[in-house]
Amino acid sequence: MPEQKMRGFGDFSDDQHWGDEAASEMENVRMSDVVAAGGQKWMAISVYVSIWTAIQYHLCTNAREGCLLTAVISPDATTAAASIADYHLTSPTGTRGRMNEARRQHQVALASTLSTGTNGRGLLEDAWKNAPAICRPGMTEASYAGILPVGASIAAARKRNLQFRYRTRIHAQDLGSTRIARCLLWQPDMPAAVASQWRDRQRRVFQSVFQTDVAPSTSQTTHVSQSTDPGQPFGYPLAPLPGHSLHPQQPQQTHHGRGRSLQRPGQHPSSRRATPESSSFGSTAPPLLTTAVDDQATYDRAWHVVTAHIALPSSATADDSFGTLAAESQQQSSRRRGDAGANEFYDAFALVINASTLLPRATRTDDILAWHVRQVRAHFAQHVIPLLTGCVADDGDDDGDDEAGEARDDGAGNGHWHAARKGNHYERHMVTVMSSIRTLEAALRLYFYGLNQLLSGFSRLADSSPGLAKDAELLNTRFRRDTHALVSNSASEGLMRSIKAVLTRLAGTILGFPSQDERKGDGGQAPRPAAPGPDDLRVQAARERLLELVQQLHNVGLAGERFQVLFAEVMDLMMSAFVTGAYGGVWSAPDPGSFSVAMDTISRSGPSSATSPCIMSLSDWVENHFARLSFEVLACISSNPQGPLPVSLADVKTYQSLALGRLAALRIGELFDIVLAWPASRPALDDLRATITTATRRRQLTDSFSRSLQIRLLHPGRSTLEILQTYISIIRTLHALDPSKVLLSHVEPRLQLYLCHREDAVRVVVSGLLASPDEIRAARKANEVAKSPREKPQSNGPFATAAMPAMSSSTSRDKPRLHSSVQVDENGASPDDNYSRRPTKLVELALLLNDPAQNRRMAADLDEDLDWDDMNWVPDPIDAGANYKRPKSEDVVGTIISGLGSEEVFIKEFSAVVAERLLSEPTRFDQELRVLDLLKRRFGEAALQSCDVMIRDVQDSRRVDTAIHKARAGQRARALATPAKSAADCRGQEMEYHARILSRLFWPNLDREHFLLPQPVVEQQAQYEQGYESVKSRRKLTWLNQLGQARVELELRDRTVTADCNPVEATVIYAFQRTEDDGDGNAPPVQKSVDELYEQLQMDEDLIAAALRFWVGKGVLCRVAGSKNNYIVVETLHDPAASTTTAVPTASTQDEEGQQHATGELEAPDLRAAAGAKPAVSAKERERREIYWRYIQGMLTNVSATMPLGQMAMMMKISIADGFPWSNEELQDFLAEKVTSGELEVVGGKYRLVKK
């Protein structure tokens, strides 16, 4: 077909000279595929050159505007614009020069061809038709005119027109085909369908490059006014020209002023546009267009009929009903006109569609579909959007509340007020959405009515030209797509918000979130979200409602990308809210029966199979509710029902892993509470273990836990006991979570560091280890008592399957021990009974020490690297350190001990505590022995040797004691042979006296405190000593008077006081003994001053004061009124003035005959008795400072005469075996004291001894 046409114009293409010039241009347009012969070739080339020139020409003038404009028009136009933009951007300056030249050559070529004949007339006319709307600033250039070989104005006009025509063929080059370009030249002879297609494209490209108004119909005809105003009389093309050119263009100019201004400044666009075309029309067209006028008139009439038929209502005032009414009126009117009207429409439609064939002379034709699209757009913008805004507007003022409400949505129990508001919100949002949908539905019905009219026209024509039917189908889908894009892009924020609110509500109901009704009804405790049962009517209703809504949204085009994003957001929110709401604080296993469903699903094969109930229920929820909802909604809005499933099995897996991730985050946040609630929180650990699968999450866990540790535990408000108890829980929890203990090792350092600051940490641990069986029993009982109240909330848990109620309410009940104190901090109050139950010792350690599972390590250590039978072996965790060694058991005790610093420190403290206990209790030492045995296995025999010695000492002394007493009994028996009186006397003087003999080297801190014991005791000591030396020859006893215990019985005038006290107190009260020669009980009570006591007892004043306080506290002594240091015996409670029988300690096991004899079971030293008293501590400290001072002297004498502070501190640290506990600041203070006292001096920042 193109070849034929080309042969037709061979006669004017022989001009060789411009052909050569054009050939050079050919390279620029890269037309390597030009296939032509002879002179025809040159014509083809010239066409291409023209096209190319036109492109280049536009590049520099209008391309930018074109790009901006076309972006909104249609895909094809966008492509064209993109290509233009590409050209423009790649060669903005380089092409300009070449372009000018090309344009010149092009003009030369055209002038010569066109002036030679009339073959190009149709072509010229075609171009002419397009001319009026174009502004061509380049045409008036002087250089341009100068090159014209033919000076005629007609030729000039033709050239202009032609050039414009070529411009509109830009897209031809996009297609890259020579043939098409050739076809374009001979458009009047082309088949109608092709022609109309091309015309459509032509118009679009035209619009993309030049700015024509989108709203009106074709730019060059009067259809604009007629179509929007169907009642007006129809005008002929020539008649309205002058007025028309002014009338519609005036608003255009203002409307698109910005775009126009980008054209050549200084020239008025409308004048340029209007005048040349009318003048050229007037001067050149009439002879040619006599028939064209008729065709044009016919065409325009047909156009009018068609447009009037499908025109949208121009104004709309009725809100919701306008669409339907308009559509009905359309139908009514068409019905009124009856078949005649319909036929008229179809005839006219055929004319309009096939204008190029039927009315070849009608120069101004247009695409009726494009017109309809424009009309729809205009209508939508002018009428529908305001209506939509109206639907949403009344909701705007509540936005703030609304979002706040959503944010609080997952926080349960916001109260009735909020629930009510929430309900109102939902209703209002629903109204907004529904009214919007109805409005859009009505509008779309209108639009599609017009389209269907057109399509039915097409289908009628389809008989004659089959290609049209296919076109119609294509057009239909395209129109639909465009319209939906229009709707979804114009949906306002408010509307989307409303949709979101509605979605949230409905999806929430479907996914099992409790509604406000339930919240209201329940009052205090908010129900947890739970997977709804299969026969829940409410859920089914919500599901139907939601799907219906989504379908409606999809129908009106609101289910586009924005909706999908919205839906994804809502679902994301739902998942988070569900995980938090359903599992927050719920750790215990739900009823396993309720998860039998889950067991049959794919979750069983997942990585988290057979794990905690929470995970199973969550997986079940995701699979059966979450994924189902997603599937249903996405399937609803899917554009391609036959395509792949919107939610695949892999997607479900992904959802599940996402949900598990949320669960992990939740549990990580709760970890500290989980630790506190151990072991009740074991199921929560199962959750964590299954979900903490990546190194990142492990890291997140340790980081988060360390943070909460710092905030909640490691501060001065916690007692060391509490910290250690928590530490035990942490060890057990994290071990259960991660048997490799790597997590623990990441959390521990901070805790250990903090414990090092607690001086009593070691002591608490040791005393805990040594807790007596009684204490252990008591602790067990306390635990049981503590557990029992928890049973009740367990039974009535909501779905949640929750064996534990919400955390906030449960924790204080669950954990009486430590937890109570935690609650104190958080809630400011704690149940009183918790205090009473709180133990004072770390009995857990004693329990653990006796737990065989804890000691497995020792046995396993033997062949730890070769445990081939370990079927549970897993590789070391990825975040384990380089020298990581897998521990075999929990080993709480070992971990805690190693956490407290070196073994030596622990052993030292342990022996101190053991010493204290050995000296304090006369009972057997089973517990100590057992603990000692266990510790020996841990630390080795040698380390605990001193403890062994201590225990043996105590056992030995018992034997020795018995032996001595036996020997003395023998002596007494011999003495009985002497007169009875003396024997009785002897017995009377007797008191029970036992001693413990300690090996000096193996007992810690046995200081001597000097004071004079009561005479009877001294006598006993002497006798005992004697007996000892007879039993063990060549050994001597050194008495540690301040250590021991005494039972004292005081016989006062009106009462008898029995007290267990230490020797110091016994000695002091003995000093108040009435001497023998005071005679009977009428003398006044004994009164002594501190100074007298000091002289009498040679005892440290601090000790005297402490002992006096003790007896004052017992009500035996009181301070004499008016004097500071005098104390008097309180003989009678109610009559202090009465006289006395003075208090005397009496042996408890001895005769109670009122004989005033002091007795004391002066047992051997008690470390704590001495160390516990304050003065003794400060004395110890004084001593320590003295030692340190000697160190410093030794240092400065021997090492270096002058030393700086830092070096001294360093030397102290390395040279003192037990470590140097002072900080540099403390040492500095100490040295400063010495400087003040003149023993040191500072020279040049260094310390030096003052030479004497």
Q: Which residues bind another protein (CB under 8 A)?
A: 741-742, 745, 748-749, 752-753, 756, 880-885, 887, 898-902, 940-943, 1187, 1190-1191, 1193-1195, 1197-1203, 1207, 1210-1211, 1214-1217
Minimum distance of another protein from residue 1122's CB (angstroms): 46
Minimum distance of another protein from residue 1206's CB (angstroms): 12
Minimum distance of another protein from residue 1190's CB (angstroms): 4
Of residues 881 and 922, the one with the C-beta less far from another protein: 881
Of residues 752 and 783, the one with the C-beta less far from another protein: 752
> Could you give the 3-state DSSP secondary structure of residue 1074?
coil
- Which tokens belong to 648? 């695949």
Q: Please report where in the chains the tokens 């497995």 appear, as a residue.
A: 856
- Which tokens belong to 621? 């929820």
- For the CA atoms of 787, 791, 792, 797, the dihedral, rounded to the nearest 10 degrees, stands at 120
- Which tokens belong to 226? 């007629």
Distances (CA, A) of 719 to 723, 726, 827, 829, 841: 6, 11, 18, 17, 12
Nearest one of 1209, 1052, 1224 to 1139, comparing CA atoms: 1052
- Which tokens belong to 399? 């936005």
Q: Which residues contact 561 (CB under 8 A, 6 or more apart)?
A: 488
Minimum distance of another protein from residue 1179's CB (angstroms): 15
Given a contact cutoff of 8 angstroms between Cβ atoms, the answer to whether 1054 and 1131 are in contact is: yes
Minimum distance of another protein from residue 1217's CB (angstroms): 4
Of residues 43 and 728, the one with the C-beta less far from another protein: 728
Q: Which residues contact 1087 (CB under 8 A, 6 or more apart)?
A: 1120, 1126, 1127, 1128, 1129
Of residues 896 and 1117, the one with the C-beta less far from another protein: 896
Minimum distance of another protein from residue 987's CB (angstroms): 46
Beta strand pairing status for 1240-1243 and 1246-1249?
Answer: antiparallel
Of residues 610 and 859, the one with the C-beta less far from another protein: 859
Minimum distance of another protein from residue 750's CB (angstroms): 11
**Counts of helices then strands in the chain (DSSP H, E):** 57, 8
d(C-alpha 429, C-alpha 498), whole Å? 5
Q: What secondary structure letter does DSSP report for 262?
A: T
Looking at beta carbons, which pairs linking 779-782 to residues 24 or more positions away fall under 8 Å?
A: 779/839, 779/843, 779/844, 779/847, 780/847, 782/816, 782/817, 782/837, 782/839
d(C-alpha 830, C-alpha 256), whole Å? 75
Minimum distance of another protein from residue 888's CB (angstroms): 11
Minimum distance of another protein from residue 944's CB (angstroms): 12
Of residues 609 and 1202, the one with the C-beta less far from another protein: 1202
Minimum distance of another protein from residue 1186's CB (angstroms): 9
Of residues 461 and 845, the one with the C-beta less far from another protein: 845
Minimum distance of another protein from residue 618's CB (angstroms): 33
Helix extents (H) in 9-120: 16-29, 38-61, 63-70, 75-90, 94-116
Of residues 507 and 742, the one with the C-beta less far from another protein: 742
Name the burial class of residue 1046, with classes exposed (0-12), middle (13-18) and buried (19+) by CB atoms within 10 angstroms of its CB: buried
Minimum distance of another protein from residue 724's CB (angstroms): 14
Of residues 542 and 1006, the one with the C-beta less far from another protein: 1006
d(C-alpha 454, C-alpha 310), whole Å? 8
Question: What is the DSSP secondary-structure string of 793-820?
Answer: HHHT--TTT-SS--HHHHHHHH-TTHHH
Q: Please report where in the chains the tokens 């470390």 appear, as a residue.
A: 1167
Of residues 607 and 1219, the one with the C-beta less far from another protein: 1219
Q: Which residues contact 471 (CB under 8 A, 6 or more apart)?
A: 193, 197, 458
Of residues 1162 and 1196, the one with the C-beta less far from another protein: 1196
d(C-alpha 1026, C-alpha 993), whole Å? 14
Name the burial class of residue 151, with classes exposed (0-12), middle (13-18) and buried (19+) by CB atoms within 10 angstroms of its CB: exposed
Of residues 27 and 1218, the one with the C-beta less far from another protein: 1218
Minimum distance of another protein from residue 843's CB (angstroms): 24
d(C-alpha 626, C-alpha 571), whole Å? 8
- Which tokens belong to 640? 């391609």
Q: Which residues contact 549 (CB under 8 A, 6 or more apart)?
A: 433, 437, 502, 506
d(C-alpha 773, C-alpha 850), whole Å? 11
Of residues 734 and 1167, the one with the C-beta less far from another protein: 734
Of residues 378 and 943, the one with the C-beta less far from another protein: 943
Minimum distance of another protein from residue 1102's CB (angstroms): 23
Minimum distance of another protein from residue 820's CB (angstroms): 29
d(C-alpha 602, C-alpha 573), whole Å? 24
Instruction: Residue 176: count other Cβ atoms within 10 Å of its Cβ.
Output: 11
Of residues 754 and 1111, the one with the C-beta less far from another protein: 754
Given a contact cutoff of 8 angstroms between Cβ atoms, the answer to whether 476 and 453 are in contact is: no
Minimum distance of another protein from residue 916's CB (angstroms): 23
Of residues 93 and 883, the one with the C-beta less far from another protein: 883
Nearest one of 1250, 1246, 1249, 1252 to 1192, comparing CA atoms: 1249
Minimum distance of another protein from residue 1040's CB (angstroms): 19
Q: Which amino acid is at 202?
A: Q
Of residues 367 and 748, the one with the C-beta less far from another protein: 748
Q: Please report where in the chains the tokens 């067990």 appear, as a residue.
A: 780
Minimum distance of another protein from residue 758's CB (angstroms): 12
Of residues 941 and 1153, the one with the C-beta less far from another protein: 941
Q: Which residues contact 24 (CB under 8 A, 6 or more apart)?
A: none
